[in-house]
Chain A
């Protein structure tokens, strides 16, 4: 209980990684919405939090794509699995491109006031974040569709990554003397 389970190899990391982008990138809009409703000086903290979540989430998308390719090479293959896997991979690459761009864009939104030397006018601030949220919804669509295809591979087709063995020997047996 108080020790780490064995660390999977690179090919087996995919199932561990994929949940990070799903969780992190789906909560970013909540922080953005809070930032929209608050005054700019108070909302900036939420904007920075959103950016940090987005940056970590995007990094995990990059990791998920790389580990996914490694896992895919070892996955069971049938023509049906190949079709879903190909779609999953294409969507994952689109997701990576979209969130890479969205991260860059939010970084620009964050640094603009520094260049201006003063806060943006509120309509411009709110407007830019609403436009950003609309763009973000494209990323979310790509993300959830990628996740859906990944879920199909696992739960519909039974495709699994190789995981590290939990023990080097047989499971312990009851010796029968209560010890």
Chain B
């Protein structure tokens, strides 16, 4: 009997510890989602302001890139918001006034932001979401991380060629409405990140 009682107590204790750990893990996931939602919402506003500045300075192609990235950030924010609501939270963003400088400086700031999200923020958030096996969070972080990687590459390319882009006209970029993947041309049947059909890609210029 005592052996049975001890087993029962140990089992209950194990369930309690596991439940507490899971609850704590979910709370951290929710906090990370809120951080990401705030970041993406601000990035959306910032890139739209950067696009206006680029147009003003005569960098039409860079302005298009900023607008495409802004659309992608809006997709990410919307995806994060869905998961936040699923976890019982309310998506909240504190939109700061964008610090708009020259297009060169704006590109540098954008690269810094995207690189941070690609190399630090999202990998940490993904690690935590994987630890608690929250699939919705893993998916939305995964989508965002993939797109930020591409944004960092496109911004770096634009910065390296900025002198030649002076006087350029707006050009088309293609943004996946599901994951925010941003490309200069569609050379695939399905989005390589989320497998959305290429026909659903949005054109932003």
Please list the residues of chain A having a beta carbon within 8 angstroms of any beta carbon in chain B. 9, 11, 69, 72-79, 82, 85-86, 89-90, 93, 162, 165, 168-170, 179
A72 to B196, CA, bound (A): 12
* B11 and A169 contact, CB distance less than 8 A: yes
A41 CB, nearest partner CB in chain B, Å: 46
* B135 and A77 contact, CB distance less than 8 A: no
Residue of B15, B135, B190, B195 touching A74 (CB-CB under 8 A): B135
A164 to B193, CA, bound (A): 23
Query: Which residues of the other chain, B, contact A82 by a CB distance below 8 angstroms?
Result: 146, 192-193
B7 CB, nearest partner CB in chain A, Å: 9
Size class of the B contact interface (CB-based, 8 Å): 20 to 34
Query: Which residues of the other chain, A, contact B3 by a CB distance below 8 angstroms?
Result: 179
* A77 and B193 contact, CB distance less than 8 A: yes
* A169 and B135 contact, CB distance less than 8 A: no
Does B65 sit within 8 A of A, measured CB to CB?
no
B205 CB, nearest partner CB in chain A, Å: 25
* B190 and A168 contact, CB distance less than 8 A: no
A82 to B143, CA, bound (A): 12
Closest 8 CB pairs of A and B: A169-B14, A86-B192, A169-B18, A77-B146, A69-B195, A74-B138, A73-B139, A82-B192
* A77 and B18 contact, CB distance less than 8 A: no
* A86 and B188 contact, CB distance less than 8 A: yes
Give per-residue flags for B9-34: 1 if the beta carbon is below 8 A from chain A beta carbons, else 0: 00100110110000000000000000
A3 CB, nearest partner CB in chain B, Å: 17
Query: Which residues of the other chain, A, contact B11 by a CB distance below 8 angstroms?
Result: 169
CB within 8 Å of A: which B105-161 residues: 126, 130, 133, 135, 138-139, 142-143, 145-146, 149
Residue of A75, A79, A93, A170 touching B17 (CB-CB under 8 A): A170
A82 to B190, CA, bound (A): 12
A89 to B195, CA, bound (A): 9
Query: Which residues of the other chain, B, contact A77 by a CB distance below 8 angstroms?
Result: 142, 145-146, 149, 193
CB within 8 Å of A: which B153-205 residues: 188-190, 192-195
User: Contacts A73-B142, A77-B145, A162-B133: A170 and B18 contacting too (C-beta < 8 A)?
Assistant: yes
* B142 and A75 contact, CB distance less than 8 A: yes
The chain A residue with its CB closest to the CB of B147 is A77
Query: Which residues of the other chain, B, contact A162 by a CB distance below 8 angstroms?
Result: 130, 133, 135, 138
A93 to B143, CA, bound (A): 22
Query: Which residues of the other chain, B, contact A78 by a CB distance below 8 angstroms?
Result: 149
User: Contacts A86-B188, A86-B192, A179-B3: A74 and B14 contacting too (C-beta < 8 A)?
Assistant: no
Query: Which residues of the other chain, A, contact B188 by a CB distance below 8 angstroms?
Result: 86
* B17 and A11 contact, CB distance less than 8 A: no
Query: Which residues of the other chain, B, contact A86 by a CB distance below 8 angstroms?
Result: 188, 192
A8 to B193, CA, bound (A): 22
The chain A residue with its CB closest to the CB of B179 is A73
* A165 and B142 contact, CB distance less than 8 A: no
Query: Which residues of the other chain, A, contact B133 by a CB distance below 8 angstroms?
Result: 162, 165
Residue of B14, B189, B195 touching A72 (CB-CB under 8 A): B195
Residue of A9, A75, A89, A179 touching B190 (CB-CB under 8 A): A89
A138 CB, nearest partner CB in chain B, Å: 20
Query: Which residues of the other chain, A, contact B194 by a CB distance below 8 angstroms?
Result: 73
A79 to B181, CA, bound (A): 12
Residue of B14, B126, B135 touching A170 (CB-CB under 8 A): B14
B118 CB, nearest partner CB in chain A, Å: 10
The 25 sampled A-B contact pairs (Cβ below 8 Å) are A11-B135, A73-B139, A73-B143, A75-B142, A76-B126, A77-B142, A77-B149, A77-B193, A78-B149, A86-B188, A89-B190, A90-B189, A93-B189, A162-B133, A162-B135, A162-B138, A165-B133, A168-B15, A168-B18, A169-B11, A169-B14, A169-B15, A170-B14, A170-B18, A179-B3
